[in-house]
Amino acid sequence: MIRYAARALLADRLALAALGALVLALLFGAWNADRARDAQHERWGGLVAADLLTLESLEQDLEALANGGQAPPAWVDPSRPAALATLVAIPTLSAPPSPLALLGMGVPGVHPLEAKPTLAGLAPEYAREELANPEGLLTGRFDPVFVVVFLLPLVAIALVFDLLPRDRARGLLPLALACAPSAWEVYAPHYALRALGLLLALGLGTGGGLLLFGFDASFPGALPALGLWLALAFSHGLLWIAAASALARLQASGTVQALLLVALWVAATAAVPAVVSPLLELSVQSPSRTTSAHLAREARWKSWDEKEQRTERLLMQHPELRPASASQQEAWREQLETLAYHRGMAEATAPLIEGLERAARERQRRAAHVAWFSPSLALLGALDELTGTGPSARLAFDRAARAFQASWNAFFIPRIEAGQPFTAADVARIPRFRPGPPGAETNLREALAAAAPPALILLLWTLATAALGWFQLRRVGLEAGSRPLR
């Protein structure tokens, strides 16, 4: 029976074209994701190298200073820890691309994973916006995740929409149903074979992409994540195959069924997000970025004016911080004032940043609920998590950045308060940021855990639709109303 199903498939040019298109689209998507991955890798590497260079030249400068060189202006004097912590030695924390970045690139250009530590908190979210062509952002990118979420359903529909309607139109159904109990027995081999074809095309496209553009399979957790990615993609295909079979009892022609399925696809991928997502966003209370755009500047100016007062207050509370010798008085006081300035800025902007972060978390929480309404959204959420471009990757990076921030403060603030000059020997002890990529040991586990809920939603949708399809197919030929004859 499989043999006949295979012959039917090979004779179906539309189905073969659709499968071929899927493979090509996956390869093209992988190529694009590869370029994005390279760009991200280069950027990360550049930042790490720049950081290294800074520290090297810092060592040299400190040695030159110790050997009697001319002292630079106070705010860039490398022997002052305050200057180092706030200007000279600040690294830009960033993350390299995830191991599965070849399968999904997220939205490059919007809110990259980067941060800068300061003396009193991560730099507020007024960091310079990354440059990106807004019309390019509008159009969207073409990566394997796009292919799986948007294109795969159309391919699945093209494979199976005409199985039953064509035979019905040709008049083959009565004879077939007279031999077999129901349409399920007649068409199950066909559906199974085409699902297999879909799986092969998926594997070929994805595997080809991974081979062509490089994939680090030895990374811990990469293979399970890849397996899950493929499984979810295949399950999505099964969902749409089952959806086509659920229309089995419809007495409509193949083209009408195809159009119905395309309408369902539009509903899942465009209509539901268009209707539900904006409601979600409008329902979350968030501080307005527009009306607080000037807040950073106000904080800076005010904090600058108040830094002397703050330092005085600090010294009154901690008189032990006053230095012994009067010669160090000036330099050390200036550093304390710098510390006070940054603390003031952080305090002033903290409520806004907290509000924004809370709103973002709330949005993520509600977005997870929206996934119930559309299997495409659920799939997108799951795949984004697996490729390291989803919320869990950002959370992990934020956590690592905050931990680094704490160590940065713990290193510099005591030195500032003690008033000790910085020497070349201290350079080696400056904290360095070494996160793994968003898929590192602990983080990939997190990604898998974060991908689980939307994955389950997708699987539920698939199982429900498959059950519906099976039920409908069995009814054709077995119950009144199915009426394959006239």
Contact between residue 385 and residue 451 where contact means Cβ atoms under 8 Å apart: yes
Tokens of 63: 């040695």
Instruction: Kindly indicate which of the ranges 64-72, 76-84, 272-280, 419-427 contains the residues binding another protein, using the contact rule CB under 8 A.
Output: 272-280
Map residues 151-190 to x or -, x wherever contact with another protein holds by CB under 8 A. Answer: x--x---x---x-------xxx-xxxxxxxxx--xx----
Stretch that binds another protein, among 73-81, 141-149, 330-338, 404-412 (CB under 8 A): 141-149
Residue with tokens 């903290």: 350
CA distance 270 to 276: 10
SS3 282: helix
Return the number of the residue (181 or 227) whose C-beta is nearest another protein.
Answer: 181
> Is there binding between residue 288 and another protein (CB under 8 A)?
yes
| Per CB under 8 A, 281 contacts another protein | yes
Site string (421-460) toward another protein, x via CB under 8 A: ----------------------------------------
Residues in binding contact with another protein, number by CB under 8 A: 100
Q: Where are the alpha helices (DSSP H) in 284-328?
A: 295-317
CB-count burial class (<10 Å; 0-12, 13-18, 19+) for 374: buried
Reduce the DSSP state of residue 374 to 3 states and report it.
Answer: coil
3-class secondary structure, 118: strand
Is residue 331 within 8 A of residue 78, CB to CB? The reply is: no
Q: Which residue from 67, 70, 139, 285 is in contact with another protein, where contact means CB under 8 A? A: 139
Determine contact, residues 114/127, Cβ cutoff 8 Å. yes
* Region 85-124 residues binding another protein, contact defined as CB under 8 A: 106-107, 110-111
For another protein, the closer of residues 200 and 279 by Cβ is 279
Q: Least distance from C-beta 478 to another protein, angstroms?
A: 5
Q: ∠ CA(223), CA(229), CA(231), 5° rounding?
A: 100
Considering only residues 364, 407, 420, 423, which one is a binding residue for another protein as defined by CB under 8 A? 364
Closer CB to another protein, 131 or 428, in the complex: 131
Segment 365 to 394, residues that bind another protein, using CB under 8 A:
366-367, 377, 380, 384
CA–CA separation, 332 vs 82, rounded Å?
Answer: 9
Contact in structure between 370 and 377 (CB atoms under 8 Å): yes
Please, what is the minimum distance in Å from the beta carbon of residue 19 to another protein? 14
The Cα 48–Cα 434 span in angstroms is 10
Rule CB under 8 A: choose which of 71, 76, 270, 410 binds another protein. Answer: 270
- DSSP-derived letter for residue 267 is I
Report the residue number, 62 or 261, with the smaller CB distance to another protein. Answer: 261
Identified binder of another protein from the candidate list 38, 59, 142, 207, rule CB under 8 A: 142
Among 263, 449, 452, 456, binds another protein (CB under 8 A): 263
Residue with tokens 């706030």: 86
The answer to whether 285 contacts another protein (rule: CB under 8 A) is no
Q: Can residue 302 be called a binding residue for another protein (CB under 8 A)?
A: no
Q: List the interface residues with another protein, window 25-84 (CB under 8 A).
A: 25, 28, 32, 35, 43
Q: Based on the shown chain and the rule CB under 8 A, indicate whether residue 363 belongs to the binding site for another protein.
A: yes
Tokens at 126, concatenated:
């007024």
Smallest CA-to-CA distance from 125 within 372, 295, 337 is with 295
Rg, Å, the chain Cα set: 30
Q: Which two tokens stand for residue 300?
A: 């800076």
With a CB cutoff of 8 Å and minimum separation 6, the contacts of 85 are: 118, 119, 408, 412, 416
Q: Which of 57, 60, 251, 255 contacts another protein by CB under 8 A? A: 255
* φ and ψ at residue 318, rounded to 5 degrees: -130, 75
Which of these ranges, 93-101, 194-202, 284-292, 458-466, lies near another protein under the rule CB under 8 A?
A: 284-292
Residue 199: CB minimum distance to another protein, A? 22
Q: Where are the alpha helices (DSSP H) in 220-318?
A: 222-246, 254-266, 272-283, 295-317
Nearer to another protein, 363 or 445 (CB): 363
Q: Please select the residue that binds another protein; options are 282, 316, 324, 428, rule is CB under 8 A.
A: 282
Span of 71-79, 204-212, 255-263, 465-473 interacting with another protein by CB under 8 A: 255-263
Q: Residue from 16, 74, 360, 424 that binds another protein (CB under 8 A)?
A: 360
